[in-house]
Structure 1
Amino acid sequence: MSNSSPFFPDTMMAVVTTGTGGYDKLSYQPVPTPVPGTGEVLLRVRAAGMNNTEINTRLGWYSSSVTDSTDTTSTDGERADGGWNNATPFPFIQGTDCCGEVVAAGPEAKTAIGTRVLVRACMRERGFDHMDNIWMGSDFDGAFAQYVKVPASEVFPVSCGWSDAELATIPCAYGTAENMVHRAGVGAGHRVLIPGASGGVGSALVQLVKRRGAEAIAITSASKRDTLMDVGADKVLLRDDDLLAELGEQSVDVVIDNVAGAGFGTLLKLLRRGGRYASSGAIAGPIVDLDMRDMYLKDIRLIGCTAWDEPVFPNLVGYIERGEIKPLLAQTFPLRDIAHAQEVFQQKGHVGKFVLIPPE
């Protein structure tokens, strides 16, 4: 098909990430508008959420050579293995979260033109019987652009009164959070500890744990305590608190942790016999001290979570449409101001998500 259409031009503006390094690796420039192939749709990006993962990929933090926290990772040097699935396809367009409008469809793509959709960013190309996965904005071009093409099977219409920016807070953070809640088997009456609760995933976890009837214990900074209580946390502890003194050994059923770092060992001591520890990140540092006795003597399950399970994204759409969760939109920025947005993001003074808005 040709791009000569009143709905979209031959070129578009996008943020191209050119390699690992500092903000100078983010180039706002014109690029060809993608053309949808068989089974694909073209979306006009109405809003694109921003995540730790885009910054981490630019820094090359996923490289095995990096052992420090995301806040202290150096911007010096190229890291060829710094992507989620080994090599990152530089130069490419990042952007894992997309609220978009379908403007064109390739052969065999059934989604109606004009539909407002969310994109399931974690895609299981071989089906849900296999753990292999690829991610929009990490393994192929994403939503930091005016347009993006994706498989029609990965777009989900959403009927609600939320704004485009509010919807763009959902896919990566809430998908990641719901996947961990699902894998850990969180249910009514469980006591769940959530370190790093003020971030996009953490604040989503508070809501998703509560909607399943579990108790949510959040860990955050003092300035964010009230916001997390408003979201639904039953108890809020501070990062410097002595967790063993505050909660006691074997006091929680589930820990859902994207922080890791030096506090990892304590989290296992807090788990009851048969408890579950789930994680999809390690912002305080990926290398941890594990006392194997804490794990095997208490029959603890360690659950790594990257590939989203089949129910996860349909669940989220249902929660939105039934009003069971709410968006936490911290701030919006024009797409061209991505470097400034990431700089503010790294100050960690917000609760919820930052969202980038492409030009019309």
Structure 2
Amino acid sequence: MDDHMMKAVLYDRYGGPDVLYTGRVPRPEPARGEVLVKVRAFSVNGGELAVRAGRLRLLSGRTFPKRVGLDFTGEVAAPGAGVTRLAAGDRVWGVLGRTSGFGSAAEYVTVPAERVGRLPDGLDPVDAAALPVATAVITALRDKAGLRPGERLLVRGAAGGVGNAAVQLGRAYGAEVTALARAASLDFVRGLGAHRAVDHRTVRSAELGRFDVVLDAVGTDLRVFRRLLTPGGRMVALAFDAKRPAATFGYVAASTVHGHRRVRFFSGDPKRADFDDLARHVAEGKLRPAVDTVFPLEETAAAHRALEAGGVRGKYVVRVA
């Protein structure tokens, strides 16, 4: 076997999950300031499904093959020149940056050393792959929304990869947490710490009450849920409507400029300090990984299919090595 090649999940055209296949590509080499990571696991994120389906093709372009995978856990295989903080064998987790695109669905990935953190001792790397997305939730609740103890927090999509972390962290920050989820997931979100769990398909939004902060992990009907904010309330959207992405971004942009009850869209671009915060929350018992199902690399398409079907509790994780 050629040591300069590796397995990676690819697709040669936009479409459904079936366009994904496991192929072989050149193994990357770390540039100065980067590390080469041997990937142990990654999770499936909603945004990459929209890209794979071609809904953002004006941004993603028509150059193929394309890659999938945004986050990862693994071990440093080789540090690049100038990297002194990390050494071969260090257990790490990270998220590829906004400018890097996708590509963690592979045996190896290169990433700037500043974009990875050390994996907490005792945390299984497959379970841990459910957590890098929580860096965005920490920043959204703590920094973008300024969530304070005693405030009322509404989490939409509370059972999913983003939402389950928001329920846990909202509780840890001292908020009164209302979780919206499917009926079958209400016990799951209560177990995460939600004070109130509501079936999103049977409740009318007006019946939910008022909230100081709304964290949206769904991306649709932002206007409806913005109306539930108290004066001075804050809404942070961590997802977009995959069928109408331009409309979502346009509405959020307008809301940021006009009105006191602003909607902020935040996609996350974590750095080392964010992973240090994440590790601290895990160590303090405020946040635990929630893994729905683990798939092997060759079944990444099945993981995409499962996420598109709805009903996930936590994260779908793909084991690489």
Name the TM-score, length of structure 2 as normaliser.
0.89
| Partner Cα separation in structure 1 for residue 289 and residue 258 of structure 2 | 40
1:180 aligns with 2:148: no
Q: Residues 19 and 25 of structure 1 are in contact (CA less than 8 Å); yes or no, is this contact kept in structure 2?
A: yes
1:54-93 alignment, distance < 5 Å: 54-61=48-55, 63=56, 79=57, 81-83=58-60, 87=61, 90-93=64-67
| Partner Cα separation in structure 2 for residue 169 and residue 192 of structure 1 | 22
Q: Residues 42 and 317 of structure 2 are in contact (CA less than 8 Å); yes or no, is this contact kept in structure 1?
A: yes
What amino acid maps onto 2:114 in structure 1? S
1:343 aligns with 2:305: yes
Distance 1:296 1:114, change over 3 A: closer
| Partner Cα separation in structure 1 for residue 112 and residue 256 of structure 2 | 41
1:98 aligns with 2:72: yes
Distance 1:269 1:24, change over 3 A: closer
| Partner Cα separation in structure 2 for residue 200 and residue 166 of structure 1 | 12
Corresponding residue for residue 258 of structure 1 = 217
Distance 1:333 1:165, change over 3 A: same
Q: Matched residue of 2:177: which SS?
A: strand
| Partner Cα separation in structure 2 for residue 105 and residue 297 of structure 1 | 46
| Partner Cα separation in structure 2 for residue 304 and residue 353 of structure 1 | 22
CA displacement at 1:29 relative to structure 2: 1.1
Corresponding residue for residue 190 of structure 2 = 229
| Partner Cα separation in structure 1 for residue 242 and residue 23 of structure 2 | 33
Q: Matched residue of 2:71: which SS?
A: coil
Corresponding residue for residue 242 of structure 1 = 204
Pair member with larger Rg? 1
Corresponding residue for residue 75 of structure 1 = none
Corresponding residue for residue 126 of structure 1 = none
Q: Residues 259 and 285 of structure 1 are in contact (CA less than 8 Å); yes or no, is this contact kept in structure 2?
A: no
Q: Matched residues, percent identical?
A: 31
| Partner Cα separation in structure 2 for residue 354 and residue 303 of structure 1 | 27
CA displacement at 1:284 relative to structure 2: 6.9
CA displacement at 1:88 relative to structure 2: 7.0
1:119 to 78, 85, 94: 94
Corresponding residue for residue 163 of structure 1 = 124
2:232 to 264, 274, 281: 274
| Partner Cα separation in structure 1 for residue 23 and residue 115 of structure 2 | 27
| Partner Cα separation in structure 2 for residue 314 and residue 183 of structure 1 | 18
| Partner Cα separation in structure 2 for residue 88 and residue 145 of structure 1 | 21
1:29 aligns with 2:23: yes
What amino acid maps onto 2:49 in structure 1? I
What amino acid maps onto 2:99 in structure 1? I
Q: Residues 18 and 27 of structure 1 are in contact (CA less than 8 Å); yes or no, is this contact kept in structure 2?
A: no
| Partner Cα separation in structure 1 for residue 299 and residue 36 of structure 2 | 24
What amino acid maps onto 1:341 in structure 2? A
1:314 to 264, 273, 276: 276
Q: CA RMSD in A?
A: 2.7
Q: Matched residue of 2:309: which SS?
A: coil
- Once the two structures are superposed, what CA deviation does each residue of 1:263-312 show, in whole Å capped at 9, x if it has no partner? 3333122111011111121247543697xxx9999721221212447653
Q: Residues 120 and 154 of structure 1 are in contact (CA less than 8 Å); yes or no, is this contact kept in structure 2?
A: yes
What amino acid maps onto 1:267 in structure 2? F
Name the TM-score, length of structure 1 as normaliser.
0.80
| Partner Cα separation in structure 2 for residue 10 and residue 328 of structure 1 | 35
Q: Residues 258 and 283 of structure 1 are in contact (CA less than 8 Å); yes or no, is this contact kept in structure 2?
A: no
| Partner Cα separation in structure 2 for residue 283 and residue 169 of structure 1 | 22
CA displacement at 1:56 relative to structure 2: 1.2
- Once the two structures are superposed, what CA deviation does each residue of 1:230-258 show, in whole Å capped at 9, x if it has no partner? 000111111130121242xxx21011113
- Once the two structures are superposed, what CA deviation does each residue of 1:23-80 show, in whole Å capped at 9, x if it has no partner? 343121122111112122111101111111221110122x3xxxxxxxxxxxxxxx3x
Larger helix fraction of residues: 2
| Partner Cα separation in structure 2 for residue 346 and residue 94 of structure 1 | 15
Distance 1:284 1:190, change over 3 A: farther
| Partner Cα separation in structure 1 for residue 59 and residue 258 of structure 2 | 35
Q: Matched residue of 2:279: which SS?
A: helix
What amino acid maps onto 1:116 in structure 2? R
